[in-house]
Structure 1
Amino acid sequence: MTKRLQQSKVQAYFKRNRIEIEDHVVSSNYEEVDPVVTSLQVSTPLTSDSCTTISTPSLNTTHIQSPIVTVNDLSKNGEKPRQPSIIFPKNEAGRHFSTHWYAQFSWIEYSKELDAIFCQPCRLFGGSTAEATFSTKGLCDWRKLGDKCRKHDSSVCHMAAVETQKVWAIHQIIGTVDKQLDPNFRNEKFIDDNRKHLMTVLDIITFCAKQDIPLRGDDESDQSLNKGNFLEILELLGKYDSNVTKRIESLPGNAKMLSPDIQNDLLTSLASVLLDYVKSEVEIASCYAILADEVKDASKKELLGASLRYIHKGNVRERAIGFIELKDMDAGTISEKLIELLKPFELDPLKCVGQGYDGASVMSGVHGGVQARMKGAGYRNATYVHCASHRLNFVLAATAERHPLMKSFFDILDLTYSFMNGTKRHAVFIDVQVERYPNVQALELARSCSTRWSSRSLEVERFLRRFDCILDTLSIFGNDNDADTSLAAKSLLGSLQTKKIMTILVYFGRLYDYSDFCTKAFQKSTATVSSCLILLADLRERLVNFDFDKVVEYAKDLSGEYEIENFDVRDTIRQRRLPERFREGYLNSSVGHTNASNFEELEILLRQNVREILAELDARFGTDQSGIMKAADCCLPRSQNFLNKQELNTLSELYAIDIKDCEIEVFRSFIARKDESQLNTLIDVLDVIDKDIFPDVFNLYQILVTIPQTSCKVERMFSSVKRIKTRLRSQMTTERLNHLALLSIEKDIAETLCYNDVIEHFKQMKHRRFLL
């Protein structure tokens, strides 16, 4: 009698819970249950045995144990149906599957391996009564697909499988009998408090990641005065919010969610949700491009960093997708790791229209380089583009280093910087600036870097602005008691106090004023082919019309202001006298000379330098093997060949775009009615195109805008790596570095992440003592 009474109590308990759950679960529509299914915490994968134990008072599910089709690219229990958006292959009859069926029948999932569709509920929960076509074999006959799906949707076996899936989802939420009898499990407030505590922890982790500061401390014990940023910030929040402290104190010692392992798991979840956000954006883009580069971190590990470029809601996006460690630096390894980084995004390789790297042979090689291997791996439409910023840097660096006079000029600037960098000398240099310019902040001299041309521009600018202070400081140390210091100061002072150095300084100052516009514009993520063409054309025009007379005139004015009398350093070496018999054949001009003894000869050398820059620009930017630059130029309304089909032929064939003549004619008339002054770039034109009216023209402009012109996004990713993984944090694993870097680089996404999604991901990673 006692046993029967206990059974009736248990049945009554489950009946009550069943009624409470049905109040919150809609049973008539499969799509409305889907959000519940996707938020499940699956502690153990569902097997045939586990399926047979699912039962409710109203539905017996013992019939559902049937062999589940083993296809690698189909979903598992608790996941949404796999519904990729790709270019689907055609069968022998020329038919193929289409993504519009997903919206009509939400249970459909597509297998790329079999080129077939399945019904997720029937495949996972249909059992022996399920229709084999939709559960085990897969449907690949696309004739009258709608009729077949509608018939299956209304079948008894399908509706039973859907109901069984709902019951399974409910049991995942309710859990076992032990958990149901646990008062903490039924206590929603208890779970809500746990989530609030975890959200506070997530806030601190996200804050530290965005600020590039470490989380952990060297000593995190209770007696430590510095427990690390994570625990110290948590204590600080507790001072102003007592609930934070109360929640921590109420939790057991082994479930406070503050350990380093928990931090790593939460970082993994944050990065995963962030990448899901990027995936959701790039999935709806019609095309995308890949950017990649390598860097060595503080622990001497070689890392490959990558990002994706695409258009989202009319704006160009360049999003970091992570770092991966490289064991070798050959093209095969790099391309394999790059594909590994791209794999989680499930992108169609044929939608990749560009790949941007630096000019190293391992990346740019047309036969065995990374760009060639990526094309061989299925990314055949990905046109390789050498970073425009790198190319411009090579142009300016090569022409400056080529001539001995220019090279010696930059050597003098670098030696002066090194001399001024001494502690005592630097202090005197600052004092001299304060005395001369009392109401202006003192400037630091900049040091040049061969790989960053903007640093040389800054170096020349600072020298020009504080040339008088540099001379004063060198004069002071020229009388120093230390012989070495005095000798070095006098030597530098003698080298700088010449009209020749002053003229070259003014020349490079003017040259960088012109080139800096291109350098800065090429580093922007919004840089496109058209914007690069416009800026390069402007730079060429300025160089062709370079006013050397103004340079010489300004140099003479500055020389008079600084009391510089000598044109060049006095040559103390005895000059060899030319024999009498050779004097008539001696060419008395500066042609072919590497030095200059007056302004006229110096101007000839400077003009030669400008001609070399123009030649380098043509050599590095003039090649247009893919016809991209030509196509971009004729896609600008200001072009005389606006949308000329012959100019677009190469690009049209490359990306299989066949624009009809009538569409081009109508679009020209459409643009003619617009204000041409507002359509300066490809993005401006793209903004006014209606893709439904001009579909092929829209695709053409999207491709041209998506093709990358610079890989500076990856360079900025490396800057974050250097800020995060410092010498003191050199033991950090690559996985943790990757997660921290993603949150730091994509701050705008990190600020808007839904913590509920993060907690759900964290909950599903493994079994937790902490109830969420």
Structure 2
Amino acid sequence: MIRPVTKIIDPVARAEVLFCAFIAEHNLPFAVADHFTDLVKVMFPDSEVAKKFRCKRTKATNIVTKVLAPEAEKKVTQLCRSQKFSILMDESNDRGDSKCVAILVRTYDTDVLQVNTFFLAMPICNVGNGENLFMCLQEVFTANNIPWENVVGYSSDNAAVMIGNNNSVLSRIRGKVPNVVNIGCPCHIMSTCTQYGVKKLGVPVDELLHDVFTHFQHSSKRRQALQEFREFTDTETYKLVRFCSTRWLSLQTCVDRFLQQWPALEAYFASHEDVEKKGNRVARASENLRDPVVALVFRFLSFILQPLNTFNTDFQHASAVVGYLHSEINRLIRSTMAKFVKMSVISAAADVTKVDFETRDNQHDDDTIAIGHATRTYLDEAPPEVQASFFRKVRAFYVELTTKMLTKFPVNDEVLKALSFLRPENRQNTSTESVVKLSVRLGVGNPDRIHDEFVDFQLLSESALPPYVEGMALDPFWSCIASMKTPLQKARFPQLSALAFAALSIPHSNADPERCFSALKKIQKEERENLGHKTVEALLRVKMNTKTVCFNQNPTSEMCTAAHSVCN
């Protein structure tokens, strides 16, 4: 009998690999390794591993770039070669003068039985047109032997260079994969629709937020003066927040914080020495703060931005929730309409796109239109002409917001509708034809087998279904479905579950590349600004593709061997 050979793992090399994983996970400078190598000997004088531990900055860098990063990359490329996945892309100019493009993939991770997003590459692309961006993607695919036929979805921001019908990255991907699915980024769309609505209010919201923040930004003397007015007006002390239009959720935070500070700010600017000088920032801010319509608009925004941001937050999650997207888009639009349109008008329409919300007679009266309790309370003290002006602005906001949502959201997208089959509570109401069409679109399974398996799935009793709570991530449910067997111990839903995993890999937003750039900023701290591009890319690969915390990782013997010889 031949006994299997047991590979012995060098404990010193293992310790060095784990230490480098710790550096990568926590964005530490490699220079930390210089002192740690000596410190560990002092900390653990009785340890033989500590005595032999030698991992200073050069070796630590090599272990990250030549051991940990290739290991993290290997798993991702193997998944992309063997199963369906989606591409996520976004541009950034955070690397100094070099402009990078983040390329991520989203697929079902068979090791942990859930859908995950992985970092694939971040090539430099200084001229960010559709052709060059696509060539970066093509080069990454070619270098890693990733087949285009496994691509089912694509996600990016909504810029024309990314998703335009002509001469974009998406148009070139469709040259390779005609049926690739792109449902847009609902988070970007929601932010854009909100910006259009705010413009219709006719109030300088952005200007006022910017004027006030920049006035205090670099002056401790002015901030101290403001503090005195806070005490005088009995206003709690909160730090003012910078408004950034590209941050999806920042407007509500800024508006809420601004309202908290309003009494102190109004008193401060009204008494400022420059308030009589026309055209300057102080005079402009003081005038806006004393305008009752502006005060009403800010209170209204605090009310209306909350449900819009809730939708945005729900679909920034990394978990697999694409099956909820169509119903949640419809629910958001209908609930927004209900704030200013009569319920009978909404109920009478065949679908949400048929509601006549622009006709004044179909809208609520001023006393029933939704503006929020705080706004309504403040409004009671305003003169009639101010109230009339305010309600005209609110109606213009609602009409513009609803119009843009109906135009930009994929309300009637057949693929998005078909993805609702992923939710078990919809299985009885979903047509088998739509599921079969989806399988053909994604290139998964045999249509006849998909038909039979989905009918079998529809016939399952409630008690036979895996545990499921409405609103939960959908990949655990379908992992259980994939493991179900017939009485003869054969897989019961092999092709239907494969379709579900391919469908779940379709991105429900483009938040993952934003998370990638957040990780990039943490890596490129001031003390690490001289890191080379390949090192930064390696750190991102380790950080984003390693789903286990550093102290729970288990380096393989191959990794330890490579780490032992990496500087030899």
TM-score normalized with structure 2 length: 0.80
- Taking a change above 3 Å as real, the CA distance of residues 447 and 272 of structure 1, as seen in their structure-2 partners, is same
Which of the residues 602, 612, 617 maps onto 2:405? Answer: 617
Give the secondary structure class of the aligned counterpart of 2:127: coil
Q: 1:363·1:369 contact (CA, 8 Å) conserved in 2?
A: yes
Which of the residues 451, 467, 472 maps onto 2:246? Answer: 451
Q: Which runs of 5+ in 2 are unaligned?
A: 341-367, 484-490
Instruction: Determine the structure 2 residue equivalent to 1:598.
Output: 386
Residues 359-394 of structure 1: CA distance to partner in whole angstroms, max 9, x if unpaired? 2222213443222323434x4553234222112222
Which of the residues 290, 293, 296 maps onto 1:503? Answer: 296
Residues 278-306 of structure 1: CA distance to partner in whole angstroms, max 9, x if unpaired? 4566666x422121212112421111212
Which of the residues 94, 102, 113 maps onto 1:297? Answer: 94
Residues 19-58 of structure 1: CA distance to partner in whole angstroms, max 9, x if unpaired? xxxxxxx9x58xx56x87xx9xxxxxxxxxxxxxxxxxxx
Instruction: Determine the structure 2 residue equivalent to 1:737.
Output: 536
- Taking a change above 3 Å as real, the CA distance of residues 387 and 760 of structure 1, as seen in their structure-2 partners, is farther
TM-superposed deviation, 1:763: 4.9
Letter in 1 for 2:515: R
Alignment of 1:690-729 (within 5 A): 690=482, 692-726=491-525, 729=528
Letter in 2 for 1:644: S
Residues 578-604 of structure 1: CA distance to partner in whole angstroms, max 9, x if unpaired? xxxxxxxxxxxxxxxxxx943134213
Residues 409-431 of structure 1: CA distance to partner in whole angstroms, max 9, x if unpaired? 33222212222323222234456
TM-superposed deviation, 1:747: 5.6
Kindly indicate whether residue 85 of structure 2 is the aligned counterpart of residue 288 of structure 1. Answer: yes
Q: 1:552·1:599 contact (CA, 8 Å) conserved in 2?
A: no
TM-superposed deviation, 1:494: 3.2
Cα distance in 1, alignment partners of residues 274 and 288 from structure 2:
21
Which of the residues 545, 554, 562 maps onto 2:374? Answer: 554
Cα distance in 1, alignment partners of residues 224 and 169 from structure 2:
50
- Taking a change above 3 Å as real, the CA distance of residues 493 and 700 of structure 1, as seen in their structure-2 partners, is same
Instruction: Determine the structure 2 residue equivalent to 1:389.
Output: 187
Cα distance in 2, alignment partners of residues 553 and 652 from structure 1:
48
Residues 109-159 of structure 1: CA distance to partner in whole angstroms, max 9, x if unpaired? xxxxxxxxxxxxxxxxxxxxxxxxxxxxxxxxxxxxxxxxxxxxxxxxxxx
Alignment of 1:228-239 (within 5 A): 229-239=32-42
Cα distance in 2, alignment partners of residues 449 and 610 from structure 1:
23
Cα distance in 2, alignment partners of residues 701 and 365 from structure 1:
28
Letter in 1 for 2:158: G
Instruction: Determine the structure 1 residue equivalent to 2:43.
Output: 240
Q: 2:72·2:546 contact (CA, 8 Å) conserved in 1?
A: no
Kindly indicate whether residue 205 of structure 2 is the aligned counterpart of residue 409 of structure 1. Answer: yes
TM-superposed deviation, 1:566: 6.8
Residues 733-766 of structure 1: CA distance to partner in whole angstroms, max 9, x if unpaired? 1101112223333463461151644332345667
Cα distance in 1, alignment partners of residues 287 and 430 from structure 2:
60
Letter in 1 for 2:215: F
Letter in 2 for 1:689: I
Cα distance in 1, alignment partners of residues 97 and 526 from structure 2:
11
Instruction: Determine the structure 1 residue equivalent to 2:315.
Output: 522
Instruction: Determine the structure 2 residue equivalent to 1:461.
Output: 256
Give the secondary structure class of the aligned counterpart of 2:531: coil
Give the secondary structure class of the aligned counterpart of 1:446: coil
Instruction: Determine the structure 1 residue equivalent to 2:56.
Output: 258
Which of the residues 187, 190, 214 maps onto 2:29? Answer: 214
Report how many aligned residue pairs link the two structures.
Answer: 524
Instruction: Determine the structure 1 residue equivalent to 2:175.
Output: 376
Give the secondary structure class of the aligned counterpart of 2:120: strand
Instruction: Determine the structure 2 residue equivalent to 1:167.
Output: none
Kindly indicate whether residue 67 of structure 2 is the aligned counterpart of residue 269 of structure 1. Answer: yes
- Taking a change above 3 Å as real, the CA distance of residues 711 and 541 of structure 1, as seen in their structure-2 partners, is same
Cα distance in 1, alignment partners of residues 523 and 534 from structure 2:
13
- Taking a change above 3 Å as real, the CA distance of residues 392 and 551 of structure 1, as seen in their structure-2 partners, is closer
Cα distance in 2, alignment partners of residues 696 and 555 from structure 1:
54
Cα distance in 1, alignment partners of residues 558 and 228 from structure 2:
56
Letter in 2 for 1:670: L
Give the secondary structure class of the aligned counterpart of 2:124: strand
Instruction: Determine the structure 2 residue equivalent to 1:608.
Output: 396
- Taking a change above 3 Å as real, the CA distance of residues 624 and 335 of structure 1, as seen in their structure-2 partners, is farther
Q: 1:521·1:527 contact (CA, 8 Å) conserved in 2?
A: no
Give the secondary structure class of the aligned counterpart of 1:214: coil
Cα distance in 1, alignment partners of residues 229 and 39 from structure 2:
44
Q: Equivalent pairs: percent with the same residue?
A: 15
Give the secondary structure class of the aligned counterpart of 1:466: helix
Q: 2:379·2:387 contact (CA, 8 Å) conserved in 1?
A: no
Cα distance in 1, alignment partners of residues 157 and 325 from structure 2:
17
Instruction: Determine the structure 1 residue equivalent to 2:459.
Output: 669
Kindly indicate whether residue 310 of structure 2 is the aligned counterpart of residue 310 of structure 1. Answer: no
Give the secondary structure class of the aligned counterpart of 1:459: helix
Cα distance in 1, alignment partners of residues 153 and 503 from structure 2:
10
Give the secondary structure class of the aligned counterpart of 1:754: coil
Cα distance in 1, alignment partners of residues 248 and 327 from structure 2:
21
Q: Which runs of 5+ in 1 are unaligned?
A: 1-25, 40-190, 217-228, 568-595
Instruction: Determine the structure 1 residue equivalent to 2:150.
Output: 351
Cα distance in 1, alignment partners of residues 279 and 408 from structure 2:
45
When Rg is computed on C-alpha atoms for both structures, the one with the higher figure is 1
Letter in 2 for 1:398: Y
Cα distance in 1, alignment partners of residues 152 and 212 from structure 2:
47
TM-superposed deviation, 1:666: 2.9
Alignment of 1:10-49 (within 5 A): 32=4
Cα distance in 2, alignment partners of residues 385 and 486 from structure 1:
45
Instruction: Determine the structure 1 residue equivalent to 2:347.
Output: none
- Taking a change above 3 Å as real, the CA distance of residues 530 and 238 of structure 1, as seen in their structure-2 partners, is same
Alignment of 1:535-684 (within 5 A): 535-546=328-339, 549=369, 551=371, 554-555=374-375, 557-558=377-378, 597-622=385-410, 624=412, 627-633=414-420, 636-639=423-426, 642-648=429-435, 650-656=437-443, 657=445, 658-659=447-448, 661-670=451-460, 678-680=469-471, 682-683=474-475
TM-superposed deviation, 1:710: 1.5
Deviates more, 1:498-507 or 1:454-463: 498-507
Letter in 2 for 1:606: V
Give the secondary structure class of the aligned counterpart of 1:748: coil
Q: Which has the higher contact order (CA 8 A, sep 6+)?
A: 2
Letter in 1 for 2:188: H
Letter in 2 for 1:621: F
TM-superposed deviation, 1:461: 1.6
Q: 1:304·1:338 contact (CA, 8 Å) conserved in 2?
A: no
Instruction: Determine the structure 1 residue equivalent to 2:164.
Output: 365
Instruction: Determine the structure 2 residue equivalent to 1:686.
Output: 478
TM-score normalized with structure 1 length: 0.60
Give the secondary structure class of the aligned counterpart of 1:295: strand
- Taking a change above 3 Å as real, the CA distance of residues 346 and 597 of structure 1, as seen in their structure-2 partners, is same
- Taking a change above 3 Å as real, the CA distance of residues 721 and 684 of structure 1, as seen in their structure-2 partners, is closer
Alignment of 1:419-438 (within 5 A): 419-421=215-217, 422-430=219-227, 433=230
TM-superposed deviation, 1:357: 1.5
Aligned CA RMSD, in angstroms, stands at 3.8
- Taking a change above 3 Å as real, the CA distance of residues 436 and 755 of structure 1, as seen in their structure-2 partners, is farther
Residues 149-194 of structure 1: CA distance to partner in whole angstroms, max 9, x if unpaired? xxxxxxxxxxxxxxxxxxxxxxxxxxxxxxxxxxxxxxxxxx95xx
Letter in 2 for 1:554: A
Deviates more, 1:493-502 or 1:299-308: 493-502
Q: 1:429·1:473 contact (CA, 8 Å) conserved in 2?
A: yes
Give the secondary structure class of the aligned counterpart of 1:329: coil
Cα distance in 2, alignment partners of residues 280 and 230 from structure 1:
32
Cα distance in 2, alignment partners of residues 646 and 245 from structure 1:
66
Letter in 2 for 1:508: L
Residues 241-285 of structure 1: CA distance to partner in whole angstroms, max 9, x if unpaired? 23689977x89xxxx65353663354331211222344566666x
Cα distance in 1, alignment partners of residues 44 and 278 from structure 2:
60
Q: 1:389·1:522 contact (CA, 8 Å) conserved in 2?
A: yes
